[in-house]
Amino acid sequence: MSERDEIAVVGAGLAGCLLACYLARRGYPVALYERRPDPRVGTPERGRSINLALADRGLDALRRIGLEEQVLADALPMRGRMIHPVVGEPQLQPYSASGDLAINSIGRGALNNTLLEAATKLPGVRVAFDHRLVGLDPATGEMTFETPQGTVTAHAQVVLGADGAGSAVRGQLLEHDLLTESADFLDYGYKELTIPPLGGDFALDPGALHIWPRGTSMMIALPNPDRSFTCTLFWPTHGTASFASLGSKAAIERYFAQHYPDVPPLAPTLVDDYQHNPIGLLGTVRCDPWQAGGRVGLLGDAAHAIVPFYGQGANCAFEDVVELDRCLDECADDWSAALPLFQQRRQDNAEAIAQMALTNFVEMRDKVASPVYQTRKKIEHALERALPGRYVSEYELVSFSTLPYAQVQRRVRRQYQAVGAMAVGVLAALAGAAVALGRRRRR
């Protein structure tokens, strides 16, 4: 086993660390290159904690390598969306018909550290922190890194880019004319705010993902094990109603009092967070192909970054790792066959979740608060109970199954068509009955 060539994984983020674990299990020596210092010893970047919702796809990938329980020890289950109106009491919308299926809130840092720790404990995995990839020759696997000690080079038979949405590996393939890419940014950005514990306890229900849907803006909050909530405010970056429009403490206080009135009493650092936390960008990155010459490959956000509104980016990246492992099995570890097969299996699925994530933005921002949407959800849950296994909502298929995303899209389309046909049938029957009743009355 140890005779295998060393594989270079660029990026010790979520996908990179999990990938290192899977590759080490296959007997590969792995060099994990990360541009940042060791996150287990430093202080996290301000306003970049980003807690994640881990769902079945992510958990499945962790379970296969024996890490599910350890990861879930740092997570909190959320069984539904708690919708906060401007006026009135918050309302819970369960995620599933049974009401007991849950996605799991976990800090990105905690998850990354658990995976990193697991990877470094495996024989054959070495991590080089403070190594920023700045050059790659896709033909030879020669890599150039910037480090605090200066520029260093390294070589690997196979180089895998797990270096996130702004992937330098992808950039190198682009520079060598080996792929094309597109990046579609939303005119929305995001900013993190904090709701600390209140009197030692959670200030809001910790069993839900909280949403404040406000049309042009939206805020969500996920619980943390220390009983705080990380809130993420989504808003256009420019314009009259945007992050740029609140220039003073008074303006911030006025805005939140008007649109998010239940938040300021729970968020003592609101103004400071707003003024000092950075604005993150949101976009969809597509590229093609995802590999070059069977020697360089991309996965996770590096191959297909998506907007975060379905809470699936990391889940999808973890699924990539499982699929790549499966492809290596099927191709007897012939990378020149496995990497193209991996792309063939995953690209449609990545595109499907990219589209669903964009659609879900409109749902979360605008629709969840409307009575029509709430009635539709109740009907959907009733259908799920009446037709168990035959009618399953899109949310459940995405979050509580491992059915490939592209198949989810097709199945949901078929379900809507069937329900539409049923509704037409019911309406036709009702119309027929009304006509017959009218005739009988006239006689």
Which segment (12-20, 73-81, 357-365, 419-427) binds ligand FAD by CB under 6 A?
Answer: 12-20
Binding to ligand FAD by residue 399, rule CB under 6 A? no
From residue 398, how far is each of 13, 96, 393 by CA, in Å?
Answer: 23, 12, 9
Binding to ligand FAD by residue 34, rule CB under 6 A? yes
Binding to ligand FAD by residue 163, rule CB under 6 A? yes
Binding to ligand FAD by residue 189, rule CB under 6 A? no
| 3-state DSSP assignment of residue 150 | strand
d(Cα 315, Cα 230) in Å, to the nearest integer? 19
Binding to ligand FAD by residue 280, rule CB under 6 A? yes
Q: Which is nearer to ligand FAD, 163 or 394 (CB)?
A: 163
Binding to ligand FAD by residue 16, rule CB under 6 A? yes
For 437, other C-beta atoms within 10 Å of its C-beta total 10
- Compute φ and ψ for 152, nearest 5 degrees: -130, 155
Binding to ligand FAD by residue 80, rule CB under 6 A? no
Which segment (197-205, 311-319, 366-374, 428-436) binds ligand FAD by CB under 6 A?
Answer: 311-319
d(Cα 136, Cα 142) in Å, to the nearest integer? 6
| Cβ–Cβ < 8 Å for 178, 138 | yes
Number of residues that bind ligand FAD (CB under 6 A): 33
d(Cα 14, Cα 301) in Å, to the nearest integer? 10
Binding to ligand FAD by residue 21, rule CB under 6 A? no
Of 111, 115, 113, 128, the residue nearest 19 (C-alpha): 115
Which segment (14-22, 122-130, 260-268, 325-333) binds ligand FAD by CB under 6 A?
Answer: 14-22
Q: Which is nearer to ligand FAD, 109 or 264 (CB)?
A: 109
State the angle between helix axes of 335-362 and 405-442 in degrees (0 to 180), rounded to the nearest 10.
40
Q: Identify the residue among 22, 23, 32, 33 touching ligand FAD (CB under 6 A).
A: 33
Could you tell me the smallest distance in angstroms from the CB atom of residue 304 to ligand FAD?
Answer: 9
Q: Which amino acid is at 291?
A: Q
* Binders in 119-158 for ligand FAD, by CB under 6 A: 132-133
Q: Which is nearer to ligand FAD, 83 or 321 (CB)?
A: 321
Could you tell me the smallest distance in angstroms from the CB atom of residue 140 to ligand FAD?
Answer: 18
Could you tell me the smallest distance in angstroms from the CB atom of residue 231 to ligand FAD?
Answer: 11
d(Cα 210, Cα 78) in Å, to the nearest integer? 9
Binding to ligand FAD by residue 321, rule CB under 6 A? no
Q: Copy the structure tokens of residue 5.
A: 């060539």
Q: Which is nearer to ligand FAD, 35 or 210 (CB)?
A: 35
Q: Identify the residue among 28, 190, 243, 290 touching ligand FAD (CB under 6 A).
A: 190
Could you tell me the smallest distance in angstroms from the CB atom of residue 234 to ligand FAD?
Answer: 8
| 3-state DSSP assignment of residue 337 | helix
Q: Is the bond leading into 225 cis (omega within 30 degrees of zero)?
A: no
Q: Determine the length of the chain.
A: 443
DSSP string, 346-389: HHHHHHHHHHHHHHHHHIIIIITTSHHHHHHHHHHHHHHHHSTT
Q: Which residues bind ligand FAD (CB under 6 A)?
A: 10-16, 33-36, 50, 52-53, 132-133, 162-164, 168, 190, 232, 280, 300-302, 308, 311-315, 317
